[in-house]
Amino acid sequence: MSIVNGQTVDATGASLVADVRHFLLQSPRQLPSRGLYDELGSSLFDAICHLPWYPVTRAERRLIATHRHEILSCAGWPDRLIELGCGNGDKLLLLLGPHRASTERGVRRIDLVDVSPLALATAARAVGDDRDVVVVTHQLRYEDGAARAAASRLPGERIALLFLGSNIGNFDPPGARQFLETLRKTLRPGDCLVIGADLVKPEHELLLAYDDPLGVTAAFNKNLLVRINREMGGTFDITAFDHRALWNADESRVEMHLVSRKPQHIDIPAAGLSLDLRAGDSIWTESSYKYDPSRFSDMLRRSGFAPARHWIDHEGQFLLVAASVVGDQ
């Protein structure tokens, strides 16, 4: 998170106040999932990644650790890695492998893009430690960070852009496509995009992943209202909300909602907003799209990428794709 003009902004550059004003009065009521990641929300998400019922992170880590050579080779042993949403840098560390291993084959510079200064500092320390590599951090939203990093490319440098963690799943399909097209424009033929996506799996597994028995995902979801109460003087009665996860098969997405168990009148002074919820009314807080490999490759192709190789973990949970950039667009 960073503060711009006194308002908290996140990776998309949107402010919580503007989001609350715009989305909460829509039908159905919504709050964009970007609001979930304040400091507490980010810690809760880290905890989710350790839950036995949330396979996404483990599956992706396994894939990167097992196939790191193939991934880097498929990306043409890039001179430069740019990671969007680097978090604490743990996945990049897996890709780089044991100290010095990757730099022997050419990675000379790593650009880290995140909106969290803490994440950038942690990741920069982790990946730069004892490696003969230049690490540059960009506290910017994804697209701006990618553009800034790529703009400093040296003649002949080959770039691999990493967008991991199934973050693409939190974009709706038109948004995902637009985002990929923007990334494509920052790259050149010969560069590579390495991107992760969560795969469709049986409904009961998806529901357990997004409504875990420990209630961590429920806390992660409800924290959005805690945030609005704290930062904007909101009067949500948090104790009267239930977390609900549902699988929308038609749209191939898991949805998270917050459902009020009672009628409540809510004021949100900083947004100049008042609203009334009836018992059973819900606020839609996140969509997490699940892909099958061919649909995901199609989307990449339509966005100007040529999927070159993909890896799926042995449990069929997660997809990692290396896609090259072809032609000039």
CB-CB neighbours of 296 under 10 Å: 25
Identify the H or E element spanning 23: helix 16-23
Of residues 170 and 186, the one with the C-beta less far from ligand AVI: 170
**Quick one: tokens of 264?**
């409540």
The tokens 């703009």 sit on which residue?
151
Of residues 166 and 297, the one with the C-beta less far from ligand AVI: 166
Q: For the CB of residue 303, give the shortest distance to ligand AVI in the complex, in Å.
A: 19
State the residue number with the nearest CB to ligand AVI.
288
CB 176 within 8 A of CB 299: yes
**How does strand 305-312 pair with strand 264-268?**
unpaired
Q: What's the rounded Cα separation, in Å, for the pair 320 and 230?
A: 38
Of residues 10 and 286, the one with the C-beta less far from ligand AVI: 286
Q: For the CB of residue 260, give the shortest distance to ligand AVI in the complex, in Å.
A: 20
Q: What's the rounded Cα separation, in Å, for the pair 154 and 156?
A: 6
Q: What's the rounded Cα separation, in Å, for the pair 78 and 252?
A: 34
Q: What's the rounded Cα separation, in Å, for the pair 238 and 260?
A: 9
Q: For the CB of residue 248, give the shortest distance to ligand AVI in the complex, in Å.
A: 14
Q: For the CB of residue 210, give the shortest distance to ligand AVI in the complex, in Å.
A: 5
**How does strand 159-163 pair with strand 80-84?**
parallel
Of residues 30 and 288, the one with the C-beta less far from ligand AVI: 288
Of residues 111 and 286, the one with the C-beta less far from ligand AVI: 286
159 to 43, 80, 140, 177: CA distances (angstroms): 31, 5, 19, 21
Q: For the CB of residue 36, give the shortest distance to ligand AVI in the complex, in Å.
A: 7
Q: What's the rounded Cα separation, in Å, for the pair 190 and 156?
A: 10
Q: Which spans of this chain sit near ligand AVI (rule: CB under 6 A)?
A: 48, 56, 165-167, 169-170, 210, 217, 286, 288
Of residues 163 and 305, the one with the C-beta less far from ligand AVI: 163
Q: For the CB of residue 43, give the shortest distance to ligand AVI in the complex, in Å.
A: 13
Q: For the CB of residue 108, give the shortest distance to ligand AVI in the complex, in Å.
A: 30
**How does strand 318-325 pair with strand 192-198?**
antiparallel
304 to 176, 237, 292, 327: CA distances (angstroms): 13, 47, 19, 8
Q: For the CB of residue 145, give the shortest distance to ligand AVI in the complex, in Å.
A: 17
Helix spans in 187-235 (H): 203-210, 216-232
Of residues 137 and 167, the one with the C-beta less far from ligand AVI: 167
Of residues 128 and 173, the one with the C-beta less far from ligand AVI: 173
